[in-house]
Structure 1
Amino acid sequence: MLDWQDIHYFAVLAQAGSLSAAARALGVDHVTVGRRVAALEQALALPLVERLPRRTTLTREGAAVAALADEMAGTVQAIARRARGYADAAKATVRISAPPAVAARLIAPQVARFRQAHPGITLVLSGLSRMAALDRGEAEIAVRLTRPEDPDLVIRRIGVMRFALYATPEQAARPPEDWTFIGYDAALDHVVQQAWLRSLLDGRPIVFQASDLFGQQEAARAGLGAAVLPCFMGDGDPALVRLATGLTPPTRAIWLATYPDLKRAPGIRAALAFLAAAIGQGCPSGPS
């Protein structure tokens, strides 16, 4: 009989690419990963990996086994989701992944209200810039700014994030030709609000770049320049005012995603309804 834990460790190693990276993902030391993979190789009587000084590559047989192991991991996650869907969730923990600004400014301030209505349900909120892998159990519910493509997910459009250009009143009083700007770093030039910002520049400089909206907002509050912010952040900040640009600002749809098996659980249904209401209040789908 093959040991499922050996297969699991090998699948993580195949994805991570090195013993040290797999060990970090699994929360163990690299010796344990190596021992588990060696045990699987012995059980299968096949060489699965080529051990190089800085990385681990799969043999031809290892790549084939890794593909099957990945399918097995997906099946295990599906079993766990189905079990949660059948369970009575009078007490439950629901993990939610959301973009950092949405998590901090739209969801977290409303959690006390949710707790009063559902004292047995604990929400675990992760503000992630990357998209959590629902198929690998990183979260039960994801809030996303792009429409999920996984056909197995249940998705729902719950709001529209609107943007505008914000600065301090002192900055706003300057002639537009003297404005300076705050934006994302180059790695995020592809996001729609950054593309819109660049369309406004007309030779004027971006004087500060930050990888997150909180850093941009604080720089704008300090009077460094104008930043493109979601309206739920900018309009709620007494230190900032909207600047007229003459160009229509961008919008981004906000989506909820989970798996059908999970949606059967009362705790998941309660969390989905809460998220739709909390985010819909701050980012309504209708005209602002």
Structure 2
Amino acid sequence: MFDWEDLRHFLAVAQAGTLSGAARRLKVDHATVSRRLTALETALQMRLIDRLPRSCRLTLMGEQIFELTSQMEASAFAIERAVHAAHSPFIGKVTVSAPPVLATNFFAKQVLTFHRQHPDIQLSISSQAQQVSLSRREADIAVRLSRPTEASSVTRRLGIMPFALYASRDYAYRHQPATWEFIAYDAQYADMPHQHWLLAVAGSRPIVCEVSDITSQHVAARTGIGVAGLPCFLGDTDPALERLPFDGDAFSREIWLVVHADLKHSASIVSVS
């Protein structure tokens, strides 16, 4: 009656809200998504999506088919997880999603040790600030800086990541707190707990520059431009930096490991987690 692949493209459009968003999700070009959507509507002899100038809107029938297709997708991913969990022990690829600060400065440094212990497991570390979906197999394991809430997942707190203020040992004002200038996030991360803490500590003192990730803030602090709020595991181990005492509340983030419940007994997943 219709091509299942066309249905998959329809689902991506419905989820993304635009043809271009669906194309990025499926890693195809815009024209392919448009062609697949047209083919599905032709096969079903009805319009499923109204194509507006800057978005796509589901028709009433499109909404019904979207609900059914979403259930199909969930079942397909459940099958995929079941097969993955049944694979031979300690063989295969395991994808770990982690915040950039941990992916770059901690997990990437462990890959050689892990490879020597488990040579048949290909470890894929995905550095992502945004939260991924374990149900959709966007990752096998996720490391997050807040307590997960998904009912379908198994979680474990790995520990905490304390922060402190640091500046280059060459920073001219490091012993003059009243004249400190700070390195902060840019506007897109205004709601991050780390940013709230840093701005509270800075008070009326100026922000000398904005940098979008902690690793880059670390590099900026080393130049001597100003004061950064960094994880202690980064700042304390860098001989170019000095930890600065300050008046204000301490700050830390919890580190949580998350695995989908369907994969919690997979030998390869257990070996990584």
Q: Which TM-score band applies after superposition, normalised by the shorter structure?
A: over 0.9
Distance 2:183 2:38 in 1: 52
**2:134 and 2:141 in contact (8 A); partners too:** yes
- 2:45 corresponds to which residue? 45
- Name which of structure 1's ranges 144-153 and 57-66 shifts more when overlaid on structure 2: 57-66
Letter in 2 for 1:109: K
- 2:160 corresponds to which residue? 160
Q: Which runs of 5+ in 1 are unaligned?
A: 273-288
Secondary structure of the corresponding residue to residue 41 of structure 1: helix
Aligned length in residues: 272
Alignment of 1:124-163 (within 5 A): 124-163=124-163
Alignment of 1:106-255 (within 5 A): 106-171=106-171, 173-255=174-256
**1:86 and 1:264 in contact (8 A); partners too:** no
Distance 1:159 1:242 in 2: 22
Question: 1:89-119 CA deviation, whole Å, 9 max, x = no partner?
Answer: 3421001100011011111111111111101
Report the TM-score when normalising by structure 2: 0.94
Q: Which runs of 5+ in 2 are unaligned?
A: none
- Name which of structure 1's ranges 81-90 and 168-177 shifts more when overlaid on structure 2: 168-177
Instruction: Tell me the CA shift for residue 2 of structure 1.
Output: 4.1
Question: 1:29-76 CA deviation, whole Å, 9 max, x = no partner?
Answer: 333222322232233332101223443221111122112212211111
More helix by share: 1
**1:50 and 1:59 in contact (8 A); partners too:** yes
Instruction: Tell me the CA shift for residue 209 of structure 1.
Output: 0.7
Secondary structure of the corresponding residue to residue 134 of structure 1: coil
Secondary structure of the corresponding residue to residue 106 of structure 2: helix
Distance 2:103 2:90 in 1: 24
Identity %: 44
TM-aligned CA distance change 1:51 to 1:243, over 3 Å:
same
**Does the alignment pair 1:69 with 2:66?**
no
Secondary structure of the corresponding residue to residue 138 of structure 1: coil
Instruction: Tell me the CA shift for residue 3 of structure 1.
Output: 3.0
Distance 2:58 2:243 in 1: 54
Report the TM-score when normalising by structure 1: 0.89
**1:164 and 1:228 in contact (8 A); partners too:** yes
Instruction: Tell me the CA shift for residue 228 of structure 1.
Output: 0.2
Question: 1:218-263 CA deviation, whole Å, 9 max, x = no partner?
Answer: 1111111100001111111111011001323211110111112212
